[in-house]
Amino acid sequence: MSVTRFTNCHLIDNGKVYRHHDLYFDNSTRKICNAPTSPSFITKTIDLKGQLLAPGLIDIQNNGIYGVNFSNLNEGSSPQDIAQFRRSYQDAMSKYLTTGVTAICPTVTSNFAGVYPKVLPIYKKSRLSHQTDSLGAHLEGPFINLAKKGCHPVETFVDAKEGEHKLLEIYGGDGNLLDNVCIITAAPEIPGVLDLIPFIKQHNCVYSIGHTMASYETGVQAIENGCTMITHLYNAMPQPHHRNAGVVGLINAPLKGSQDKTPFFGLICDGVHVDPSMANLAYRSNPSKCVLVTDAMHLIGLPDGEYKWDGQVIVKNGDRLYLKGTDTLAGASTTLPQCIRNLMQWADITLAEAVKTATNNAASSINVEHERGFLNVGCDADFVVFNKDGYVTRVYKLGNEINSSDVPAGAEARLSAVL
């Protein structure tokens, strides 16, 4: 047996800091293990000099990174086009790992049926040591409401009146769902969608309410049918009213005596999609079900300017992305560690509490908590190291050390233990 030990560190897990704890992982399986029975099994020791070790971050809604749009293939894409896209995707995922995000659900926005069989196999669940993993695609549309279309192309929208046949026709069959998909976002009021929720769950996919005009009552029906998530809370849904809570009201125990059925909800804390006060309100309503997401677009990391996208033009101005000539948001360009720091400030919570929303909660929301997102024995050796200010200083992917791109200039000199 050969084991690596992290020492002189504090562990972040379960929303708490476990001070002065060592952590071990098996160099063969690349999974967290118990302390070895003999010191001779420890073949490598990493001294973190009083910093904080947390599970790798998980981003369950991300539309693209470093110039790669996860929906970029089309019906006419050739095998050569697909091969080139795969290379660009792998390169971008290697870069994204430097931000501390060790796994994502690449998000494919509303598209024509011919696109899904070409792009989804690229997002098959992975376990790699040199790039951010895919946990399976997040399919956002095309079963969504025209009134809450956002920047989705309306010509792709469909209903589900034909039931299972229509779902499989659009997404490319049973194999595509079982092997390559993690989350499906659809509006429950679209004809046929409510009845499809159990079928979606049978394919080990999470059903999430989004891009919807659904009432609170329709949302409760969806939950009774197996819905367990809400996509980017507040965005692309009716705004809550004190006499008409709408979908937002679902985050507070919609079924009497069934707290476990309250859905997880994605929350974009970039300061653009959601006002800080409303982000704080949502988080404090149900901290254990809050999942930080970036909703990042492929323009993240690119300079400000105008960019063509699906026949439209997106204007990038700092963290703000809009469709040209409108006030319609077109995704985000803020990293997940920055979203964590924002939530810390807005909700006046600790780093450990904020990290929980992008690790433990994220993993639990998509049923991978026994593999990732926790510092439990048996979970993958995917870690981030934080300094006391919440900046990622190191990343470990299956134990492989990766340089961080999240550290601001001069931060290394300011590193200190959290006392």
Give the residue numbers marked as catalytic: 295
Distance CA 252, CA 244 (A): 14
Identify whether the C-beta of residue 372 lies closer than 8 Å to the C-beta of residue 382: yes
Per-residue tokens: 67: 């110039």
Distance CA 390, CA 100 (A): 12
Q: Label residue 413 exposed, middle or buried (CB < 10 Å: 0-12, 13-18, 19+).
A: exposed
Q: Is the dihedral of CA 54, 133, 141, 260 positive or negative?
A: negative
Distance CA 96, CA 91 (A): 9
Distance CA 272, CA 144 (A): 23
Per-residue tokens: 373: 């997102």
Per-residue tokens: 82: 């697909």
Q: How far apart are the first and last CA of the chain?
A: 34
Per-residue tokens: 309: 């996208």
Q: 193-202 vs 164-171: helix axis angle to the nearest 10?
A: 60
C-alpha count within 13 angstroms, C-beta hemisphere, residue 229: 31
Distances (CA, A) of 347 to 29, 57, 67, 320, 336: 38, 20, 32, 22, 16
Per-residue tokens: 311: 């026949």
Residue with tokens 């990290």: 355
Distance CA 406, CA 386 (A): 10
Q: How many residues does the chain have?
A: 419
The region, left, alpha or beta by phi > 0 then psi within -120 to 50, assigned to residue 209 is beta
Residues whose CB falls within 8 Å of the CB of residue 325, separated by 6 or more in sequence, listed in order = none
